[in-house]
Each structure stands twice: as C-alpha cells, then as structure tokens.
C-alpha cells in the first residue's frame, strides 16, 4: 500500500468534524485492507507504533525532528522554527520545508506504508553513541522521498500528534461496521475484546476472521495488561453506600490509598507491574517486585493493588506527588527505592492459574486473592477492609468496632452510614489515606468502565482533576515558563472539554519547569505569548469555591485555584465532569 493512500485517509479524516463521517472513512479503509495491511492501518490511523504497555519509544524529540527536516530540505533550522511557531505544528513546517527545499536526492523512492512503519519502529532500537544522528538520518531519509503532504504526516507520526481527531471509540465503531453488522451488540463485542487485549490490531483481525465468535475467544493474557475498572465519585459516604448496592447485597469498605494503582502479572519468578494507564513500571519498583515474588504463592496470576510509599525513618505515608517521581525514574533506581520504599496493598484478582475471573463476582475474586497471599507487614498486604452485610438484617452483627469476622453494622436512619462505618472512614483519613472505596460484592469486573458497582468517597469539596487546554508564558522571573494555565473539565453529553478557570499559583520552579516541558511538546497553535495545547496533561487542583461565570465554556469558574500535583496516572478521559462541577457548586 502506498503511503500516499494512507495520507489521503488522513486528509479526509482531518477535513471533517463529524464523528459519523470519520467512522465511515475508517470503515471503508478497514474493509478494503488485506490481512497484511489491516494491522498497519489500525495502528497508523491513531499514529501509534507501539502498544501503551511496551517500553519502546522512538526517541525523536521536536528538536531532533527539526534537524531532520533541515537535513532533508536544505532549509535552515531558523526558517523551520519560524514556520513552526507561526503554525504551531512541526508537521506543517515539514510540509513547507519540502515545498521550498533547496536540495533533492538523485533518486526518489516512493514511500509505502510498510516502509514508513518499519523505518520508524527501527528508531527505538538505536542505542549508545551516535544513536541521535542515526535517528535524524532515518527521518531525513523518509522526508527526502516524501511530497509535502506525506512529510506533514510522517513528522506528526514521529512526534505522536497525528491531529486527525480519531479516538478509541471511532476505531471501535469502524471495526464493528467493517466486519460485523454495526449494531449496538456488535460495538459491545468489539469494546469488550479491546478491554481485555488493549490492542485494536488483534481485535480487528479477530473480528474479520472470526466475527463475534472470534472476538469472544480473546481473553486475558499474562503480561498484556487489561484496562482497569474505574470508580465513580460519591459526594457523601451515605450517598455512596446507597448507590453502590441494592439493599439485599453486601458492600466491601476498603481504604482508598494515595499511591500508584498497579496491575501485577506473575508467571513463576517473572513479574511485571503496570500502571492504570498501562505503562510498564517494573524496573522502577524492584522492591514491589521482590515482595510479590516472596509473598504471592500463585505461579500464574493477575492481581490488582496500590503501591504506596512511606518515609523509611518515620514510617509516615508520602504523598503521591513524591512517589510519582519513581514512575519515570530510569537511573539510580535503587537509591530512590531506599529513599521512598513502598508497600503493596492488594485488592483484586483478575486471573488465576489459566482462568480469567472477570465474570466472577467480587466476592469470589477476593476469595481467590486471599488464597494466594502470604502477607508481610510493610511489604505486601491485603488492602485494609471491612464488610458491610446486607441491609435486610440477615447475618447482621452489631458491635462497637465490628463483628468477629471483621464486618461492621449497617444500621442508620434512611439508609445513612452508621457510626461504625463512619468511624472506619475517619480511621482511613486519620491514617493518611484519601478515603474509602465502596464495592458491590456481587459485581463482576468491568474493564475500562466507570460503574456504580464501585464508588470512591473522599472529603467533601475535594480537589478537582482537570486538564490543561491552553497556556500562557509567565512574566518577570518566571517568563521562561508556561505558568498561566487554562483548565478544562469534561462535558459528558458531548464528550468535549470545556474550560472552568485559569491557574497561576501553587507550583514551585521545579514543578513549573516540568509542566512547561510536558506542555511544549503538545502545542497545537501559537498566538503571541499564548499557546493552545493537546488536552493531555491532567492536574489536581484545589480551590476556595466555585462561581458562576460566563467567561468559560462550562459556565463556571474556580475561585483562587491552586496547583496541587500533576496526575501522571490520569489521562484526559479521566478528568472530572461538568456534572460534578455543577453538583459541587450547588452543594457549597
């Protein structure tokens, strides 16, 4: 397949804002692809060359790409940078460079999809001295054979910002339309297959070759992480208890930890640890890996838990912001592990001894978990929990601090939480944890979904998780930093991000430097000292109150917002909703 044909697909996708039209374009492309082309197309329409849980990276920064464009075209880096600043898109700068190039290769080679794909994937294998120059040479070689439009999308793919408006939902619907009947049931089958594989290449091939039966055969595989089940936020403890279960069902109360949510895969002594965003952080947490090897007796399993850091001298918990430094650490890992040791708190079992447990109840999954643990304090523990029995009085045992089996009573006016339940909640907060998780014990595990079978309760007026939509360079001493940030929440009705205020305080110079570095690679448009960015960087924000405001698309504005931390564990799909902002405003 010629790369120009893929570029035509990109252009058509970019030319429409209609989700239905984008789905139709992908459906046509997937249907026409042969068995060799299909997996490449499924990857490249998202501009992703690697699965999210793999450690491979192309290793090509914006500055290296700029040098590659200059090398391929003969246009100066200064001219390329000027175009880049005007358009906010280095892909556009590459297209302009090819149009105005002052040098050409003697023989033009027509680009193919396979050729571009393989050349770019090879970049991740380059290491050591001279690796940067080799990467520049490969990208420059592709650009030398490209026309302006091809150059634009080669560069966008290299940088991971394709800008054609394709999300997971569009790919899902296109696969359902191309290889099934496009019905709601077909979409659900495709989505379920993706949730357990996180690989639309495999899903597309299974749908094409085996239809729904082929999709149903896809299941959990060790060392290929599953999308995690997500919790909804409860405004109050009583409200959360009412929402999470019907009266005849039991509820599990569990400490909500301020740590790194971890999905742990184990086969014998081989252990891999993944974050909720599917990043492989095994190398960054050797102490957690050692604890799992020592205290998990199962030979083959997938477990879920939270990795929590603590101060080795005081034994006090450390906040997530400090622990998160370990996630991206590549050097001096042992030193960092001694500075911030961790304990693994386990709370679910998704797979055991060759059998997936996703369709089993939480009660059965927890039984499987308890059967494979030999806990050790401050190394690996079962998450602190209590069981709240059914509210109909069956098996109910009242006591001051819980029954002999660890359960606590459920009495209370109008279904409200009783004193023992509230005491457990307060104990979690007093210990330094964030609050409680409330789990329906009869519920199955639903990957990737934010469902009412699992709620999280934190103090009222808790911070909001918001995504950066725009930024502005600061003034004075901090003029080299993007320090004035516009923040957005998610409108659940449209799926759009709508702004809810602007942030300018709360960060240290080090934090601001890190924020600027993250945002500069996401710039889509520049106007003076203000830039628009891809909405990817999620921040936890504190504030004094929420006000009505016509200034922002949400209709609300945060009063005195203050930066708390970067949520490296969250993506734009995880930010708080406009509905939640509205509820918090009304409850003030």
Shared domain check, 74 and 151: yes
263 found inside a domain = yes
Residue 579 lies in a domain: yes
Q: Are residues 403 and 483 in the same domain?
A: no
Give the pairing type, strands 342-352 and 380-382.
parallel
Domain count, the chain: 4
Judgement on whether residues 288 and 145 belong to the same structural domain of the protein:
no
Residue 304 lies in a domain: yes
**Same structural domain for residues 475 and 565?**
yes
- Nearest 5 degrees, angle CA 498-CA 504-CA 506? 115
How far apart are alpha carbons 372 and 349 in whole angstroms? 10
* 408 neighbors 395 (Cβ within 8 angstroms): no
Which parts of 236-382 fold into alpha helices (H)? 237-244, 286-295, 320-323, 333-339, 362-370
Domain with residue 97: its CATH number is 1.10.3260.10
Structure tokens at 202: 């495999």
Give the residue from 336, 364, 382 where a domain finishes.
382
Q: Which residue has the higher pLDDT, 390 or 265?
A: 265
What are the beta bridge partners of residue 359?
A: none
pLDDT in tens, 362-381: 999 999 999 999 999 889 99
Residues 515 and 418 in one domain: no
- Beta carbons of 552 and 498 less than 8 angstroms apart: yes
Say whether 309 sits in a helix, a strand or coil: strand
Contact of 433 with 257, CB cutoff 8 Å: yes
Cβ 349 vs Cβ 292: under 8 Å: no
Report helix, strand or coil for 109. Answer: coil
Question: What is the pLDDT, as a whole number, of residue 400?
Answer: 33
Give the other-Cβ count within 10 Å of 89's Cβ: 21
250, 395: one domain: yes
Whether 264 and 378 map to the same domain: the answer is yes
For residue range 65-115, list pLDDT tens digits in order: 999 999 999 999 999 988 987 887 899 999 999 999 877 665 578 999 999
Q: Does residue 271 share a domain with residue 344?
A: yes
Residue 24 placed within a domain: no
Nearest to 486 by CA among 507, 506, 472, 465: 472
Query: Residue 245's domain is classified under what CATH number?
Result: 3.30.1490
Report the distance separating Cα 249 and Cα 442, nearest Å. Answer: 7
554 lies in a domain? yes
Contact 47, 161 (CB under 8 A): yes
Q: Is 504 helix (H, G, I), strand (E, B) or coil?
A: coil
Catalytic residue among 256, 439, 456, 458, which?
256
Among candidate residues 354, 382, 410, the one where a domain is terminated:
382
For residue range 31-45, what is the model confidence (pLDDT) as tens digits?
999 999 999 999 999
Q: Are residues 296 and 371 in the same domain?
A: yes
For 435-502, give the DSSP string.
EEEEEETTPPP-TT-EEEEEEEE--TTPPEEEEEEEEEE--GGGTTSEEEEEEEEE-TTT--EEEEEE
Write down the pLDDT at residue 395: 40
**What distance in Å separates the CA atoms of residue 409 and residue 67, rounded to the nearest whole number?**
67
How does strand 450-457 pair with strand 230-234? parallel
Q: Give yes or no for residue 558 having a pLDDT over 50.
A: yes
Closest CA to 124 of 111, 115, 134: 134
3-class state of residue 180 by DSSP: coil
Longest Cα–Cα distance of the chain, Å, equals 86
DSSP string computed for 33-102:
--TTHHHHHHHHTTT--S-TTS-------HHHHHHHHHHHH---HHHHHHHHHHHS-HHHHHHHHHHT-S
Is 256 a residue of the active site? yes
Backbone torsions φ then ψ of 111, nearest 5 degrees: -75, 140
Residue 402 scores a pLDDT above 90: no
Residue 107 vs residues 141, 243, 475: alpha-carbon distances, Å: 12, 67, 50
What confidence category does residue 417 fall into, taking pLDDT thresholds of 50, 70 and 90? low
Query: Is residue 23 in some structural domain?
Result: no
CA separation for the pair 369, 373 (Å, rounded): 7
Residue 397 has pLDDT above 80, yes or no: no
Phi, psi of 500 (to 5 degrees): -135, 15
Residue ending a domain, among 356, 382, 408, is 382
pLDDT digits (tens, 9 = 90+) for 268-322: 999 999 999 899 999 999 999 999 999 999 999 999 999 999 999 998 998 887 8
Which pLDDT score, from 0 to 100, does residue 459 have? 77
Q: Which has more confidence, 130 or 526?
A: 130
For 198, the enclosing helix (H) or strand (E) is none
Residue 185 lies in a domain: no
> CATH number, domain at 318?
3.30.470.30
Q: Is residue 176 part of a domain?
A: no
The HSE-up count of residue 76 (CA atoms within 13 Å, CB side) is 3
Range of the domain at 514: 464-587
Residue 353 pLDDT: 94
403 pLDDT above the threshold of 60: no
């Amino acid at each position: 397949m010629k790369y120009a044909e893929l570029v035509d697909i990109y252009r058509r996708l970019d030319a429409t804002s209609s989700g239905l039209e984008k789905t139709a374009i992908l459906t046509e492309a997937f249907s026409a692809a042969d068995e060799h082309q299909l997996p490449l197309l499924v990857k490249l329409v998202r501009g992703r060359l690697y699965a999210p849980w793999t450690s491979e990276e192309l290793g090509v920064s914006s500055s290296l790409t700029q040098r590659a464009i200059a090398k391929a075209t003969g246009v100066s880096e200064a001219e390329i940078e000027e175009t880049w600043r005007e358009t906010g898109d280095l892909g556009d700068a590459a297209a302009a460079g090819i149009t105005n190039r002052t040098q050409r290769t003697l023989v033009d080679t027509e680009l193919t999809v396979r050729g571009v794909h393989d050349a770019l994937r090879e970049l991740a294998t380059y290491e050591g001295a001279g690796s940067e120059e080799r990467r520049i040479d490969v990208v420059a070689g592709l650009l030398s054979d490209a026309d302006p439009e091809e150059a634009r999308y080669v560069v966008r793919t290299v940088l991971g910002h394709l800008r054609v408006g394709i999300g997971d939902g569009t790919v899902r619907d296109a696969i359902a339309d191309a290889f099934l009947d496009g019905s709601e049931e077909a979409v659900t089958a495709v989505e379920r297959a993706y949730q357990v594989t996180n690989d639309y290449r495999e899903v597309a091939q299974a749908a094409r070759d085996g239809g729904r039966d082929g999709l149903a055969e896809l299941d959990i595989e060790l060392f290929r992480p599953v999308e995690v089940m997500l919790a909804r936020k409860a405004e109050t403890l009583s409200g959360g208890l009412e929402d999470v279960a019907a009266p005849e069902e039991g509820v599990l109360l569990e400490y909500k930890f301020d740590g790194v949510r971890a999905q742990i895969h184990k086969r014998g002594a081989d252990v891999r640890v993944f974050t909720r965003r599917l990043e492989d952080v095994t190398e960054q947490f050797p102490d957690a890996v050692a604890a799992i090897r020592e205290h998990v007796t199962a030979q083959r399993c997938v477990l879920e838990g939270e990795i929590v850091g603590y101060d080795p001298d005081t034994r006090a918990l450390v906040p997530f912001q400090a622990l998160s430094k370990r996630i991206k650490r590549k050097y001096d890992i042992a030193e960092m592990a001694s500075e911030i040791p961790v304990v693994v708190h386990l709370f679910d079992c998704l797979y055991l001894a060759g059998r997936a447990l996703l369709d089993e109840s939480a009660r059965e999954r927890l039984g499987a978990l308890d059967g494979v643990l030999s806990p050790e304090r401050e190394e690996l523990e079962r998450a602190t929990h209590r069981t709240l029995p059914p509210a109909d009085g069956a098996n109910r045992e009242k006591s001051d601090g819980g029954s002999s089996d660890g359960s606590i009573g459920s009495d209370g006016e109008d279904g409200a939480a009783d004193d023992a339940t509230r005491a457990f909640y307060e104990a979690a907060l007093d210990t330094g944890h964030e609050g409680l998780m409330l789990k329906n014990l009869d519920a199955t595990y639903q990957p990737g979904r934010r469902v009412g079978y699992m709620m999280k309760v934190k103090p009222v007026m808790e911070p909001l998780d918001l995504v950066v939509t725009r930024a502005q360079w600061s003034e004075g001493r901090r003029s080299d930093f993007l320090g004035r940030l516009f923040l957005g929440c998610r409108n659940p009705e449209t799926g759009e991000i709508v702004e809810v205020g602007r942030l300018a305080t709360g960060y240290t110079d080090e934090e601001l430097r890190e924020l600027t570095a993250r945002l500069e690679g996401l710039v889509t448009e520049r106007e003076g000292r203000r830039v628009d960015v891809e909405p990817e960087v999620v921040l936890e924000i504190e504030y004094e109150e929420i006000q009505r405001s016509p200034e922002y698309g949400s209709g609300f504005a945060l009063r005195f917002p203050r930066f708390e931390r970067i949520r490296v564990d969250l993506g734009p799909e995880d930010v708080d909703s406009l509905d939640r902002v509205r509820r918090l405003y009304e409850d003030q």
